[in-house]
Amino acid sequence: MNKITWTKKALKQIKRVDRVWQLRIIKKVGALTTFPETAGTKELTKHQYGYRLRVANYRVLFDFDGNIISIQEVKKRDERTY
pLDDT at res. 58? 92
Report the predicted TM-score, pTM, of the whole model to 2 decimal places. 0.87
**Residue 81 maps to a domain:** no
User: Residues 52, 38: contact at Cβ < 8 Å?
Assistant: no
Residue 38, φ and ψ in degrees, nearest 5: -75, 135
* Residue 68 lies in domain: 3-76
Tens of pLDDT, residue by residue over 14-23, are: 999 999 999 9
CATH of residue 50's domain is: 3.30.2310.20
pLDDT at res. 80? 64
Tens of pLDDT, residue by residue over 20-57, are: 999 999 999 998 888 888 888 899 998 889 899 999 89
**Residue 50 maps to a domain:** yes
The total domain count for the chain is 1
**Residue 36 maps to a domain:** yes
pLDDT at res. 66? 84
